Amino acid sequence: MDKKISFLSLNIGNPSLDRARKQCEWLDKRPEDVFILTETKNSQGCSYIEDFFLQYGYDLFSMNSLLDFSVSFPKSKTGDLGVMIVSKHQIVKSMNFFKEDSIFYARQLETIISIENLQISVVGLYVPSRDRSDEKIMRKKSFVDSIEEFITESRDVSRVIMGDFNILDRNHIPHYSTFFEWEYSFYDKIICEGYVDAYKYCNHEKQEYSWVGRTNDGYRYDYAFASADLRDKIAECKYIHDTRKNGLTDHSAIVMELKVKTL
């Protein structure tokens, strides 16, 4: 039997409590099976989102949903930002590539999600942003190098990788000279390891942006990658710009849908 499984990734911008409530209201109405939320923090707003979904879709004040949710939300001990994964299917295991005392601990999260007879690895990434300072440049490069190692060491897994990568591919239009070669190479490395850029796979040369700067320059920062064995199962990949245009957060969401066979 064919079954559609959908994933939504959204940078929630470490929201205030008020904005977190609005984000929960929006997410609770979404049809996707798995939410990969980036730029999380051990904060009041993100704790509200965790509690909201841990309570099986029940708001702290009123009933919002009849769905059960499974949540994985690692909290950084260093106060750094990270990832939360919320699933309508059971999360049977959660893993982090980094140790708990690492500043990068919460920025990479891998969950194994059980969907009937299938188990799929869902990885959320929140790659550090940077400025021109040596400290921020080395911080980002160190994280990127580690993720390249993670991807190389964990081949032969049915996997979805989504999140805010804070990088661009080489053919991005417009081209920005501010990005380093190693940032472009990070995207290339993911592709060389057999992963499919689902948006490009479904939309070819179409160019959309998931983040727009103050000068109105657009950047495709948010990605959905699927491992090689899932390539032919990618049914759709698109951006949802309402989240950015309506002020829910400053990023557009990205949605990927797979069509898989189940018992």
Q: How many Cα atoms sit within 13 Å of 114 on the Cβ side? A: 8
Question: 3-class SS at 7?
Answer: strand
Residues in the chain: 263
Task: Quote the mean pLDDT of the chain.
Answer: 93
What's the pLDDT score for residue 2? 81
CA dist., res. 21 & res. 58, Å (int)? 12
CA dist., res. 255 & res. 240, Å (int)? 7
- Portion of the chain with pLDDT greater than 90, in percent: 84
What's the pLDDT score for residue 60? 47
Angle between helices 44-54 and 17-28 (to 10 degrees): 30
For residue 105, name the pLDDT band (cuts at 50, 70, 90). Answer: very high
CA dist., res. 173 & res. 196, Å (int)? 19
Per-residue model confidence as pLDDT tens digits over 186-244? 999 999 999 999 999 999 989 999 999 888 899 999 999 999 999 999 999 999 999 99
Contact 227, 156 (CB under 8 A): no
Per-residue model confidence as pLDDT tens digits over 116-125? 778 999 999 9
Q: Is 259 exposed, middle or buried (0-12, 13-18, 19+ CB in 10 A)?
A: middle
Question: 3-class SS at 26?
Answer: helix
Among 36, 234, 32, smallest CA distance to 122 is for 36
Contacts of 78 (CB under 8 A, 6+ apart): 101, 102, 103, 105
What's the pLDDT score for residue 1? 73
Per-residue model confidence as pLDDT tens digits over 125-146? 999 999 999 999 999 999 999 9
The answer, as to whether pTM is greater than 0.75, is yes
Question: 3-class SS at 145?
Answer: helix
CB atoms within 10 A of CB 213: 10
For residue 56, name the pLDDT band (cuts at 50, 70, 90). Answer: low
Pairing of strands 2-11, 34-40: parallel
What domains does the chain contain, in order, with CATH numbers? 2-261 (3.60.10.10)
Question: 3-class SS at 172?
Answer: coil
